[in-house]
A and B are shown apart, each in its own frame.
Chain A
Amino acid sequence: MSKTLFNSGHTACAGCGQSLAARLVIDAAGPNTIVVNNTGCLEVFSTKYPETSWGVPWIHSLFENAAAVASGVESAVKYLGKGDQINIIAQGGDGGTADIGLQALSGMLERGHNILYVCYDNEAYMNTGVQRSGLTPFDTNTTTSPAGSASFGNLRPKKPMPEIANAHGIPYVATASAGFAQDLQRKVKKALSLKGPKYIQVHVPCPLGWRHETNLTIQVAKLAVETGLYPLVEYENGIISARRQITPKPVEEYLKVQGRFKHLLKNPEEIKKIQEIADNNIKKYGLKVEPQQQVNPSA
């Protein structure tokens, strides 16, 4: 068994992207880290009494307030004079961050606490059974935004959380993916080297909720990035400082391997709309590799 701060024996589903990402994050952060965790899959599958996967001090906050509890932890650590020695990570899912957790997160970012907030984005309330959240993509089939004869699924685009975080004027914001492990760890390390609030949003496939084969976790995550649907970018002090450039693949390649988009495959009009979302991202963030351009070395 490799040495890790996120031990085996957790009860995540086979192929769970979030369990992979959580381990990558904490191993990048190291043992001098305190973790504050929202309610959700990660909390439930990693801390079922009397067993815990965590090798660092860890506390459950409740559903919407990891950022607020972390603010208290950070204040205590500052009071004890250990602010320079201890990393503080607040983590939550997309629902616990962008919906119910938005207030606490905004407060934490506004007050400038020295905390890294990691949002594990599996694009729905997975732990409660795949319900739609503010980060559920357009036209996605979830149990509360189901596809049916009168609907193609979720009506709204993803809430632009990285931009919302960035608008608070914080030193570092990044998007990452479970499909790009080294990139994620590099971003975590970079964030933790900076003082102030940081926000990293990690795209994590959920074989159960997205309905794909368990062995396609990495591939699906990569396709999200390679189609332009999940841009990997970094903001430093408000400005985009880096992006992962791609040779864009058509979105259909990403949609067809997931059951949650199955209802779209016979609807070219809807697929066109999703392709538009991807194309807009590619334009907005400058994701396309131009023929003479160097591929961004931040691989």
Chain B
Amino acid sequence: MFGPLVCKPGSSRNNKTGPWRTGLRPKFLKKDCIACNMCLIVCPETCITGQGKNTYDFDPDFCKGCGNCAAVCPKKDIEMVKEGDA
């Protein structure tokens, strides 16, 4: 007989951490983006995708709202706005 023993790969994606956000979320302005990729690289949740200028965006299901993407963007093309703001 066996009990809980092993985990299947990548199953953490069942755990949506989006609800962790406590008020702020990133807004990708998609205006001055130079596709430097830094936002995608530094996101601790790996929830930013994009390829090419002004194509980057975040996944609200997993974003915890830490704000590092906005902090590192060299063009200030990401803003942290209130949850629910347009």
Contact = CB atoms under 8 A, between A and B. Distances in A.
B35 interface: no
A11 B17 contact: yes
B11 to A, nearest CB: 5
A15 B44 contact: yes
A144 interface: no
A1 interface: yes
A53 B68 contact: no
Given A9-B17, A218-B72, A52 B8 contact: yes
A215 B9 contact: no
A50 B11 contact: yes
Interface in B1-43: 4, 7-17, 20, 40-43
A56 B65 CA distance: 27
Interface residues of A, number: 39
A6 to B, nearest CB: 7
Interface string B45-80: 111110000000001001011111011100000001
A8 B45 contact: yes
Nearest to A45: B12
A215 B80 contact: yes
Contact of A215 (B12, B48, B49, B67): B67
Contacts of A215: 66-68, 70-71, 80
Contacts of B59: 1, 8
A11 B43 CA distance: 14
A255 B81 CA distance: 28
A14 B42 CA distance: 12
Given A9-B13, A9-B16, A15 B41 contact: no
Given A215-B71, A217-B66, A14 B12 contact: no
Contacts of B43: 20
A181 B40 CA distance: 11
Interface of A: 1-2, 4, 6-17, 19-20, 23-24, 46-47, 49-56, 181-182, 207, 213-219
19 contacts: A1-B59, A1-B62, A2-B49, A6-B46, A8-B12, A8-B45, A8-B62, A9-B14, A14-B64, A15-B67, A16-B44, A20-B42, A23-B46, A52-B7, A53-B10, A55-B9, A56-B9, A213-B67, A218-B68
